[in-house]
Structure 1
Amino acid sequence: MKKTKSCGARFKMVLEELDITTTGFADVLNISRAQNVHNWYTRGVPHYRMEDIARRLSVNSEWLKTGEGPKHAKALHLVDDSGNTFDAQSIRGTYRVIEPIDVELPFYKETAITPGSDKTHVIKDPSESIRLPRSNLDSLEIIHADAICARMVGNSMAEKIADGSIVAIDRGLTQIVDGEIYAIEHDGMLRIKYLSRVPGNAIRMRSHNSAEYPDEVFRPAQIEAENIRVLGWVFWWSTLSKRRPPVPFL
């Protein structure tokens, strides 16, 4: 088993930089004894494992072996069946997506400022997110970091956006374009409405379900007093059927 002893120090340095223990790396390699990996610090990485170890640590194998050439292997990427491009580094068997075909949008929701309080605000919910195709955002010229999602509450936008639907919001577009749908924070309440400008710097909020929810017009003084702010343009929404249809003749 040929080994390159001089690479042991470099191997140790890379693990320490990435905060990977020898036990953790042994798990990645399916090696039952972590001591075997720890021994590589002094004995060097086995020659037959050199390319695989370098790939998993995203370093050039020649650098790991001899110390010559560039350290980092920026071109070491893997592509899965769905088209996602991954970093070649693997820690405990989990690859990190660096060029996904999807974009993960953080989830925002209306929640009480304090438990039991009637006062609410719109904040990020770290427990939820949703993925949308990167190509969809790119086609609308949406900066990925500006995109968030939220949930439609109520039937004011029925039959356009059903109660419970998830909506995607572009925070980069807060300027009102008449007749477009926007997410608004209204004194801590999350609302989804058509917006239009009204002379005198006022705004009109319109519901799709206008029979039950008449138009609302807010003058500048009201906008300030009621803490109305446009969160962004709603560019996508989901709608889930309320029930599964019964199958006849069963």
Structure 2
Amino acid sequence: MKKNTSGPRFKALLEAANITTTGFAEFLDTAPQNVHNWYSRGVPAHCMEEVARKLSVNSDWLKTGEGLKDARHLRLLDDSGNTFDAQAIRGVYTVVEPIDIELPFYKEVITAPGSNKTHVIEDREQCLRLPRSHLDFLEINHTDAIGAAMIGNSMAEKIDDGSTLAIDRGLTQIVDGEIYAIEHDGMLRIKYLHRLPGNSLRLRSHNRADYPDEIFRPAQIEEQNIRVLGWVFWWSTLNKRRPPLPFL
């Protein structure tokens, strides 16, 4: 088990944010002496996650000094989608409610160098920001939403190659004719889905001229590791060219 050496880092974070010992203690509803003791003894294990969240840092980094300090990629949200930042207002922390929600981004990558096998994982180098109002309007839990990219032209002219997508992982039940993201034996695919008798599944592309329907029986769904990641509720498409100006 890694040693808890969080004391000096905890103290430095408060000093950098100009937060007093008393002010932080009031925010945590504890005695100032307890917070002061953490400077030398370290933040207690049972408080580590909460303290890290309020300070907007990675709890592992706070505890050991190892790994990434910044916690924004960790999606430290509460149940209502609020994010936390170290705002010092008269020595008391406040919750900052952003207009936008930062969504983790997922992509298809090879499982090992030289392999043709892929899987879908989170890309820690990217994120997607959407207005909070978009998610609230569709009653999407903020922590269920993720971003991804459209690969290929199977959904053109609906969703062009390279478009950014937003996916609701909270809606995996198939509603016929809706667009879903699926993982198909490690491959990220975007398709219209339709339920068929006998628990079969039809995958339909918007570009049906080049991509005919695919039908999978239950045994094939299991054998080919087909699983629904979620409902695609938003996508962006960049215009492929600027319009030429006349008479120039």
TM over 0.5: yes
Question: Residues 14-93 of structure 1: matches in 2 within 5 Å?
Answer: 17-20=10-13, 25=16, 56-57=18-19, 63=22, 71-72=26-27, 87=85, 89=87
> Residue 231 of structure 1 is aligned with which of 208, 229, 232?
229
Match of 2:121 in 1: 123
1:174 pairs with one of 172, 175, 195: 172
Residue 243 to residue 215, structure 1, CA distance change in 2 (3 Å)? same
Letter aligned with residue 72 of structure 1: F
Provide the aligned C-alpha RMSD in A. Answer: 2.7
The aligned counterpart of 1:112 is: 110
Q: 1:99 matched to which residue of 2?
A: 97
> Residues 97 and 157 of structure 1: is their aligned pair in 2 closer, same or farther, counting only changes over 3 Å?
farther
Match of 1:4 in 2: none
Distance 1:118 1:87 in 2: 42
Deviation beyond 4 Å, 4+ runs, structure 1: 84-88
Please say which structure displays the higher CA radius of gyration: 1
Distance 2:171 2:19 in 1: 40
Deviation at 1:248, TM superposition (A): 2.1
SS at match of 1:194: strand
Give 2:204's aligned residue: 206
TM-score, normalisation: structure 2: 0.67
Q: Is this contact kept in 2: 1:107–1:148, CA < 8 A?
A: yes
Query: Matches of 1:21 and 1:72 in 2, distance apart?
Result: 13
Which structure 1 segments of 5+ residues have no match? 1-13, 29-55, 65-69, 75-83
Residues 134, 119 of structure 1: alpha-carbon distance in 2 compared, 3 angstrom cutoff: same
Q: 1:97 to 1:188 in 2, by over 3 A?
A: farther
Structure 2 gaps of 5+ residues are 1-6, 30-81
Identical counterparts, % of pairs: 68
Post-superposition CA distance 1:101-155 (Å, at most 9, x none): 1110111000000122100000000000010011110111111111001000111
Which structure has the highest strand share of the two? 1
- Number of equivalences: 185
Q: Distance in 1 between matches of 2:85 and 2:233?
A: 30
Tell me the CA shift for residue 198 of structure 1. 0.3
Alignment match of 1:150 (pick from 148, 151, 169)? 148
TM-score, reference length from structure 1 = 0.67
| Worse-matched range after superposition: 136-145 or 195-204 | 136-145
